[in-house]
A and B are shown apart, each in its own frame.
Chain A
């Protein structure tokens, strides 16, 4: 009879833990600012990125356009009719003249 070894069990445990936490991580990643297109932006961008990688950018509208086009080329799912609305949303909320975002510090464990 097949008996799973320790490595296999650890791999299963880690996989289940990782996959199980992914929806939690996605749900608890900071929300992007509200806007009509925000649900689509969040869905497209946070498929790969955590929202902080977006919110820390400070770019002109032209630079945001290049970024959106690059991400579409690299697999981001964006309806062709939404491309300009994405750029408008991102350049309005994360413009080049906005103050830098203050990033959080990692904590070792949740406080009780």
Chain B
């Protein structure tokens, strides 16, 4: 069956703030051209993000038509037996399910100072879902991976406008052969929705979302790292700290892979007016391939910190929800802060690591509230 390609119905003149996108109600619309939909803070309340609340990040136009009957996945390059697989072929591989927090590398870009160009994400270009499908390792082994294979490149069916370089990236063979790296066909127990890569996408757990190519059509094993635009100069961080506003020296930088440590406050939201001096602060914390070991909350602007309670649900690559009861002494304005520490000893910094593309924002999160009780 073909996945429908219904575009959103935008509002008429005079109602320009309304955008109609079936199945995506409540999402923050950063772009309805190439879809860029952000999860608002109130949707951080679930360990598994319902698919309609899962952020959407598209660099190009979504494929106009996708048909599960005619879709094919080619596997080529440094392999002995190139493959052309259909969905029925994929279903014959053993299925693995990985619960993964997927985050756009540019999540939080809108919070950088000075401002940088790109989608101005705030907190919600992130979500956690159960992804299922065959292991990439099993597919590569079926194709007869050779010892010369060092990187695995993914290509999707997204439609490239103008002279924009195609969205091609590669991951090292070690990550490709990890038993948790998938060719995912399902998300939260259902076939992938079109916005999330139907009929198959790469799932590179713990890594930036850009590694997990959607609408996957080609897997190519290379003898070296791919060096196209979205590997270099795109998606790179400086090897040494830059001053805010300083340009990136591409030759002194590295490709971004794993996510860093981060926590966000979901509630109360910034600017809230509360009627009680006792209230609960809630949020989520994640750390890519590492585990969250501690989240601390401050209600006095960072002078003192108390440990938040980490909720029970956990999985290797998934965020931990957390909460903390706060009691403030009197009515007034308060700054609530949250900071996380992971199993690699990384802690959220006071200031983000500035870079001119606004990647990997993870400064200590804060909201300002007013208590009037």
Cα A18 to Cα B32 in complex, Å, equals 14
Q: How large is the interface on A (under 10, 10 to 19, 20 to 34, 35 or more residues)?
A: 35 or more
Who on chain B is nearest to A71 by CB? B162
Q: Is A50 an interface residue (CB 8 A)?
A: yes
Q: Is A28 an interface residue (CB 8 A)?
A: yes
Q: Is A36 an interface residue (CB 8 A)?
A: no
A-contacting 9-mer, from B17-25, B98-106, B277-285: B17-25
Query: Across the interface, do B33 and A49 meet the contact criterion of CB distance under 8 Å?
Result: yes
Please classify the interface of chain B as helix (H, G, I), strand (E, B), loop, or mixed, using the class held by over half of its residues: loop
Query: Across the interface, do A96 and B161 meet the contact criterion of CB distance under 8 Å?
Result: no
Q: Is A104 an interface residue (CB 8 A)?
A: yes
Query: Across the interface, do B163 and A73 meet the contact criterion of CB distance under 8 Å?
Result: yes
Who on chain B is nearest to A109 by CB? B20
Query: Across the interface, do A103 and B30 meet the contact criterion of CB distance under 8 Å?
Result: yes
Cα A31 to Cα B10 in complex, Å, equals 12
What chain A residues lie within 8 Å of B331 (beta carbons)?
none
Cα A62 to Cα B108 in complex, Å, equals 22
Q: Separation in Å of the A31 CB from the closest CB of chain B?
A: 8
Q: Is B40 an interface residue (CB 8 A)?
A: yes
Number of interface residues of B (CB under 8 A): 52
Query: Across the interface, do A74 and B164 meet the contact criterion of CB distance under 8 Å?
Result: yes
Q: Is B307 an interface residue (CB 8 A)?
A: no
What chain B residues lie within 8 Å of A92 (beta carbons)?
none
What chain A residues lie within 8 Å of B34 (beta carbons)?
48-50, 53
A-contacting 9-mer, from B110-118, B196-204, B220-228: B110-118
Q: B residues near A, CB below 8 A? A: 1-2, 4-13, 16-34, 36-38, 40, 64-65, 67, 69-70, 110, 114-117, 119-120, 161-165
Provide 26 A-B residue pairs closer than 8 Å at the C-beta atoms, listed in order of the A residue. A7-B2, A11-B2, A11-B67, A14-B5, A15-B64, A17-B5, A22-B7, A28-B13, A29-B32, A30-B16, A47-B161, A48-B164, A52-B33, A75-B161, A75-B162, A100-B120, A101-B120, A103-B28, A103-B29, A105-B26, A106-B21, A106-B25, A107-B20, A107-B25, A108-B20, A108-B23
Q: A residues near B, CB below 8 A? A: 7, 10-11, 14-15, 17-18, 21-22, 24-25, 28-31, 46-50, 52-53, 56-60, 63, 66-67, 73-76, 96, 100-101, 103-110
